[in-house]
């Protein structure tokens, strides 16, 4: 599997002043703010995430001889401390790994699952769907966590270090503290009302009853102890031990403040659900684009199939020579069509007959691409096609609306000196997840089950995303790795953003591969997101530009979205250097680091 053996290397001390492009990272968890830079270039491996402490944790592991998988888990664990409203051991995610020795791509589906007692009416009350706000901050929304099992599976299959070793940087950050930035404070403020309804959450994230102050140090000793226990005992502490029992007790009787008046509906999670959980090793999706092989995650996520189908639709269009108006027009229309097919066909393949290969066939994409005209816009919602029986410009059946997905996931990308690459997106769903903290354990629980359809949009049409016992809700997570014709990595990308993840990854890939933008600029470019809706969402850079006017002249309609996604990526250069790239501005900017900087 291309598993480098354990190596003991001296840790090189580096300055905490990370000011120049390509600068290396200091050791994690100093308690002092580490300056973020959006791009770094060098040798020995690279890490890109939304947070400097987390990226530094991954670099620390790489410096000590760990491989990309070890560093990815270390980075993810650190994000569970510094980005607790986006990720953590109370959630799940999807892990895509490139093995340099075999030149193969592998994936882990670490998606949360519904309780084994859940039925299609999980979110129905008196025969009617619950309001989203009523469902989200409740035990009903909490799925069986998949993140700990993902970490253990990845380390067992491809890692070179023990879980306890790679958790050490995150444990240290949780114990010693990290510096609160404006984004952390703003995210806390946006959840303040929900957090105050749950005393354990309020005690942790509203210290002294107040919002955390920008520039102050935030500590989470409970999470430090939880990580230390996982390091000693392994993830069995969650799936078969006392940590798991605490999770079940919290879900089934949410510890809500009676004075808040909040009806925190009890969940249905059991110890049997935890014991039965497995992170699934599965084949990636694969499609060819511009002579490159694009790999991503297969269902239960819709990311790989939907990004792949959209790329196939765009394959026949020369986007490198198109005007910016025509480039965005075709990007928007390909996204619209791919989302139409996503809504009809993609769900958990353990429960649904998902035509993955057919959705990714060039023949099917060509049959859908002919719907796109240079001078006209499709009317949404576009009806789905039938990938099993492609018909030229064919569409039929009833369009399914795109369900809401929480946007505050997080993504990290890692490469090591052996050439292994990880693209990993993890989440607890929306910002703050369910808002329920496991007492004494220091982490929030997910609200991933709200990614299910609460009820069929049309009772006459089968909905592949209804709840079911042990079922995984459909996701849009799209961690992607692109290889050249020799099987070597070109670029790896991914993003948070709910359903906008798909369009963010698609736009980043086409910006990099077709428009020939540097990776950091492809990530920074102002975004559009069309998800088979009447209006396309635009960030201000597009909404306030002449491009919007030119696209409206074709027939497009738009709405303003202040921020779409927060991508990271790594790129392999021909001379063996790595480029790590992250956001320049979104989510307060990301953090790109390399082991040994070079020009």
User: Is the domain of 501 the same as that of 401?
Assistant: yes
Query: What is the arithmetic mean of pLDDT over 274-288?
Result: 98
- 386 C-beta neighbours (distance < 10 Å), count: 18
User: Is the domain of 137 the same as that of 257?
Assistant: yes
User: Is the domain of 272 the same as that of 316?
Assistant: no
User: Is the domain of 304 the same as that of 177?
Assistant: no
Of 188, 91, 193, whose CA–CA distance to 133 is shortest? 193
User: Is the domain of 357 the same as that of 439?
Assistant: no
User: Is the domain of 166 the same as that of 181?
Assistant: yes
Contact at 8 Å (CB) between 412 and 424? yes
Contact at 8 Å (CB) between 407 and 500? yes
For residue 44, being part of any structural domain is answered with: no
Of 532, 487, 485, 525, whose CA–CA distance to 509 is shortest? 525
Could you tell me the residue range of the domain that residue 219 belongs to?
71-114+130-278+410-451
Contact at 8 Å (CB) between 33 and 50? no
User: Among residues of the chain, what percentage have pLDDT more than 90?
Assistant: 89
From the list 153, 409, 427, 437, the catalytic residue is 409
For residue 22, being part of any structural domain is answered with: no
pLDDT tens for residues 251-279? 999 999 999 999 999 999 999 999 999 99
User: Is the domain of 385 the same as that of 524?
Assistant: yes
Is the pLDDT at 4 greater than 80, yes or no? no
pLDDT at 32: 56
DSSP 87: -
Task: State phi, psi for 362 to the nearest 5 degrees.
Answer: -65, -30
User: Among residues of the chain, what percentage have pLDDT more than 70?
Assistant: 92
pLDDT at 456: 86
User: Is the domain of 236 the same as that of 336?
Assistant: no
For residue 30, being part of any structural domain is answered with: no
pLDDT band at 154 (very low <50, low <70, confident <90, very high): very high
User: Is the domain of 274 the same as that of 285?
Assistant: no
What integer best gives the mean pLDDT of the chain? Answer: 92
pLDDT tens for residues 410-449? 999 999 999 999 999 999 999 999 999 999 999 999 999 9
pTM of the model: 0.93
User: Is the domain of 273 the same as that of 416?
Assistant: yes
Max Cα-Cα span within the chain:
64
Show Cβ contacts of residue 92 under 8 Å, excluding neighbours closer than 6 positions: 110, 111, 112, 143, 145, 146, 147, 150, 426, 427, 446, 448
pLDDT at 20: 30
Residue 242 CA neighbour count, 13 Å, CB half: 7
pLDDT tens for residues 19-34? 233 334 343 333 457 8
For residue 485, being part of any structural domain is answered with: no
Q: Is 409 a catalytic residue?
A: yes
Is the pLDDT at 597 greater than 50, yes or no? yes
pLDDT at 400: 64
pLDDT tens for residues 480-538? 999 999 999 999 999 999 999 999 999 999 999 999 999 999 999 999 999 999 999 99
pLDDT at 393: 83
pLDDT at 414: 98
- 11 C-beta neighbours (distance < 10 Å), count: 9
Contact at 8 Å (CB) between 422 and 66? no
For residue 11, being part of any structural domain is answered with: no
pLDDT tens for residues 231-253? 999 999 999 999 999 999 999 99
For residue 35, being part of any structural domain is answered with: no
Burial (CB count <10 Å: 0-12, 13-18, 19+), residue 573 = exposed
User: Is the domain of 233 the same as that of 320?
Assistant: no
For residue 59, being part of any structural domain is answered with: no
Map 281-319 to HEC letters.
Answer: EECCEEEEECCEEEEECCCCECHHHHHHHHHHHHCCCCC
User: Is the domain of 299 the same as that of 317?
Assistant: yes
- 576 C-beta neighbours (distance < 10 Å), count: 11
pLDDT at 25: 39
pLDDT tens for residues 344-394? 999 999 999 999 999 999 999 999 999 999 999 999 999 999 999 998 886
Secondary structure class of 559 (helix, strand, coil): strand
For residue 597, being part of any structural domain is answered with: no
User: Which run of H or E residues covers position 205?
Assistant: helix 199-205
Query: What is the arithmetic mean of pLDDT over 571-595?
Result: 97
Residue 297's CATH number: 1.10.246.130
Report how many domains make up the chain. Answer: 2
């Amino acid at each position: 599997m291309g598993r480098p053996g354990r190596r003991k290397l001296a840790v090189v001390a580096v300055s905490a002043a990370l000011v120049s492009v390509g600068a290396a990272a200091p050791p994690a968890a100093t308690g002092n703010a580490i300056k973020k830079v959006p791009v770094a270039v060098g040798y020995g491996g690279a890490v890109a995430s939304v947070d400097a402490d987390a990226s530094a944790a991954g670099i620390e592991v790489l410096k000590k001889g760990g491989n990309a998988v070890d560093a990815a888990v270390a980075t993810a664990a650190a994000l569970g401390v510094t980005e607790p409203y986006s990720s953590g051991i109370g959630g799940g995610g999807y892990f895509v790994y490139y093995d340099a020795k075999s030149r193969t791509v592998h994936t882990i589906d670490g998606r949360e699952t519904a309780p084994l007692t859940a039925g299609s009416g999980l979110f129905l009350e008196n025969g009617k769907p619950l309001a989203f706000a009523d469902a989200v901050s409740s035990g009903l929304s909490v799925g069986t966590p998949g993140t700990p099992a993902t970490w253990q599976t990845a380390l067992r299959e491809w890692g070179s270090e023990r879980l306890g070793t790679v958790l050490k940087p995150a444990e240290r950050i949780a114990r010693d503290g990290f510096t609160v930035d404006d984004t952390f404070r703003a995210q806390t403020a946006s959840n303040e009302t929900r957090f105050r309804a749950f005393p354990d959450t309020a005690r942790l994230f509203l210290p002294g009853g107040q919002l955390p102050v920008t520039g102050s140090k935030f500590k989470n000793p409970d999470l430090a102890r939880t990580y230390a226990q996982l390091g000693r005992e392994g993830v069995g502490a969650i799936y078969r031990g006392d940590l798991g029992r605490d999770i079940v007790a919290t879900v089934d009787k949410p510890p809500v403040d009676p004075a808040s008046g909040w009806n925190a509906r009890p969940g249905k999670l059991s110890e049997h659900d935890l014991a039965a959980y497995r992170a699934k090793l599965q084949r990636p999706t694969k499609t060819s684009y511009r002579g490159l092989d694009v790999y991503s995650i297969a269902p239960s996520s819709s990311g790989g199939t939907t990004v792949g189908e959209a790329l196939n639709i765009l394959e026949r269009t020369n986007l490198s020579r198109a005007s910016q108006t025509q480039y965005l027009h075709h990007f928007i229309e390909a996204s619209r069509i791919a989302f139409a097919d996503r809504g009809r066909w993609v769900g958990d393949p353990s429960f649904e007959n998902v035509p993955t290969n057919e959705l990714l066939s060039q023949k099917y994409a060509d049959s859908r691409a002919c719907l796109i005209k240079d001078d006209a816009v499709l009317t949404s919602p576009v009806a789905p096609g039938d990938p099993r029986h492609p018909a030229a410009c064919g569409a039929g059946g009833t369009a399914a609306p795109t369900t809401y997905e929480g946007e505050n996931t997080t993504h990290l990308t890692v490469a090591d000196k052996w050439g292994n690459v990880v693209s990993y997106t993890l989440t607890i769903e929306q910002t703050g997840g369910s808002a329920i903290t496991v007492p004494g354990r220091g982490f929030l629980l997910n609200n991933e089950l709200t990614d299910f359809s609460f009820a069929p949009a049309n009772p006459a049409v089968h909905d592949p995303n209804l709840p079911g016992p042990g079922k995984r809700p459909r996701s849009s997570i799209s961690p992607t790795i692109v290889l050249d014709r020799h099987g070597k990595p070109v670029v790896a990308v991914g993003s948070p953003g709910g359903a906008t993840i798909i369009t963010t990854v698609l736009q980043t890939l086409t910006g990099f591969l077709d428009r020939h933008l540097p990776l950091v600029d492809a990530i920074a470019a102002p975004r559009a997101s069309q998800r088979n809706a009447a209006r396309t969402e635009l960030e201000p850079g597009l909404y306030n530009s002449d491009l919007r006017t030119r696209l409206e002249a074709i027939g497009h309609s738009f709405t303003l979205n202040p921020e779409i996604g927060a991508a990271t990526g790594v790129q392999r250069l021909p001379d063996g250097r790595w480029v790590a790239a992250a956001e320049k501005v979104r989510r307060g900017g990301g953090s790109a680091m390399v082991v040994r900087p070079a020009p």
